[in-house]
Chains A and B, each alone.
Chain A
């Protein structure tokens, strides 16, 4: 009787589980199934697709891709994919490349840093190539979109006209964004390497990146160097940081003391379109430029006040505890 129950439960579980359908990547038989590893290019790829084509992002929006582990559904989607677009740098992306090399996954692979025509910038401090945020540069973005369009045309030739006309639409939209050099003739201090291509594309010369690399902690010298750049270039300087950046408070303090513009941008990983992000940034910067950045009091000062309150509170608690202990 007991065994029968267990067998029934197992059977029901198997039936239920096998009936799980893959959502988000359902398309017609003839459509091209595209998988992007990072969500920030999801809409950009979606904008060129033909009827029946699908696109799916492995990493969900807002999740740090460096620590992402794929799920069984992700693998199912990968195995059905015709085209995989990867930034070629996180652990799961290098493993996907290995699976394609071994023939386990049949999809074509586009690795963004390996696309012919992609231009690289040198890190202003180390002189090494910066591989972060390559597509934030409008020209690189167009090279990427053209490469994806050509690959899609190769896979699904009957839709070549659709791909081409949608590509042209994106080109005209990107060119509108590309001509706006809102930071022209400015010298920029940025907090993360991911911003270098974006800020450079907006016309500024990046003189210093506070966090030298994604995995490298910030040193006091990195902050001091930011101040040196502001001292040297004065009003020409602009500080561009990501919201919730670890260097934000220190850079805000420098900007406050030297009265230089301080622009805070959202994390690109919270957007699902590179071009959309670029356009939002243009809007944010143009608004900030029209009214000089309000720098009433920097975060460092505000944090300093909090620390004083905390210290006074702690001292009070210690005093009360000691007093009560002495009484007893």
Chain B
């Protein structure tokens, strides 16, 4: 990407940011989108490097199981917080998948086994929880959010989690890419690869499960999967892919939000279509380049 293209992208980003702040009536919405898009934009290349798209998109099934179990755990233990239990149980399951992958299991196979187990278990646990405990709400309401219903408290949580995840993602980025390319060589040349693996699955789990409560799983799915794919189609070099992925994620988020406000549709659909359009354009661009 040459200097001129970079200037155009930066210029477009600045115009888009100004338009968003002028046009969208609530600052919380813009901040929620920018923060979550930054997190997902930085996690997306990690998922792409490890080729864990299937795991990233299937975490919502794990979350459902975690949610159902969390109702029982919050009632039976001193820690009376369903959301905390849901995140802890969900993370523990993601660690199980991570451990299996670390031990040499095929990622898709490990994900398939765990998702099958959690999806089946969630049916049993849902039955047990809904027939034994006084639950007056839909179980999804424990963990499912909507970007338009974020509060300032959510923004603070998002900012704190975002900062930690962004720093961690940047810190493990290079090694994660090496693991994705040639795992055996990395195991021989880098000490404590299991720490990088642990941090990677922690970032993935927290980004998928904890943030679902704030911005919902549709935005999460879109921004976890597409920005890195778009960036890989457009530029070469891992640092550029990371930078463009974060850029694409934020631009998709803001453009989608503006679009959703303009057309009066749910932001998830606006963001989804924008990210998809960008991905299609990147494919077209790649073909033109060839």
Contact = CB atoms under 8 A, between A and B. Distances in A.
Nearest to A111: B136
Interface in B134-192: 134-141, 144-146, 148-149, 151-153
A73 B264 contact: yes
A137 interface: no
A81 B148 CA distance: 16
Contact of B264 (A18, A20, A69, A92): A20
B165 to A, nearest CB: 23
Contacts of A70: 146, 148-149, 266
Contacts of B127: 212-213, 216
The 5 closest A-B pairs by CB, nearest first: A126-B131, A95-B149, A69-B266, A91-B141, A89-B137
A74 B266 CA distance: 10
Contacts of B133: 128
B56 interface: no
Interface stretch (A96-104, A166-174, A293-301): A96-104
Interface string B10-26: 00000100010011011
A72 B261 contact: yes
8 contacts: A70-B149, A74-B148, A88-B136, A90-B137, A93-B137, A95-B149, A128-B135, A215-B130
Contacts of B153: 102
Contacts of A123: 131
Contact of A90 (B141, B218, B265, B266): B141
Interface string A64-86: 00100111111110000000000
Given A89-B136, A96-B149, A131-B136, A17 B262 contact: yes
A71 B264 contact: yes
A228 B19 CA distance: 65
A321 interface: no
A75 B137 contact: no
Given A69-B216, A71-B265, A72-B264, A128 B149 contact: no
Interface string B26-68: 1000000000000000000000000000000000000000000
A13 interface: yes
Contact of B131 (A89, A90, A99, A128): A128
Interface string B114-135: 0000000001001100111111
B260 interface: yes
A69 B146 contact: yes
A10 B148 CA distance: 23
Contacts of B268: 69
B-side interface mostly = helix
Contacts of B216: 69
Nearest to A73: B264
Nearest to B145: A95
Interface of B: 15, 19, 22-23, 25-26, 123, 126-127, 130-141, 144-146, 148-149, 151-153, 216, 218, 260-262, 264-268
- Interface size class of chain A, counting residues whose CB lies under 8 Å from the partner chain: 35 or more
Contacts of A102: 151-153
A70 B262 CA distance: 14
Contacts of A290: none
A215 B264 contact: no
Contacts of B266: 69-71
B51 to A, nearest CB: 30
A66 B123 CA distance: 18
A29 interface: no
Contacts of B267: 69, 72
B187 to A, nearest CB: 43
A91 B144 contact: yes
A73 B263 CA distance: 10
Contacts of A1: none
Nearest to B26: A75
A5 interface: no
B179 to A, nearest CB: 36
B252 to A, nearest CB: 17
Interface string A202-232: 0000000000111111000000000000000
B131 A13 contact: no
Contacts of B260: 71-72
B153 to A, nearest CB: 6
A91 B264 contact: no
Contacts of A125: 131
A66 B140 contact: yes
A261 interface: no
Contact of A216 (B15, B123, B140): B123
A322 interface: no
Interface string A120-142: 00010110110100000000000
A113 B22 contact: no
B101 to A, nearest CB: 30
A94 interface: yes
**For A17, A91, A102, A125, which residue has the most chain B Cβ atoms within 10 angstroms?**
A91
A212 B141 contact: no
B60 to A, nearest CB: 13
B136 A215 contact: no
A3 B132 CA distance: 64
Contact of B146 (A73, A88, A91, A129): A91
A95 B123 CA distance: 25
Interface string A2-30: 00000000100110111010000000000
Given A18-B23, A69-B268, A212-B127, A75 B148 contact: yes
B138 A66 contact: yes
Contacts of B141: 89-91, 93-95
Contacts of B22: 14
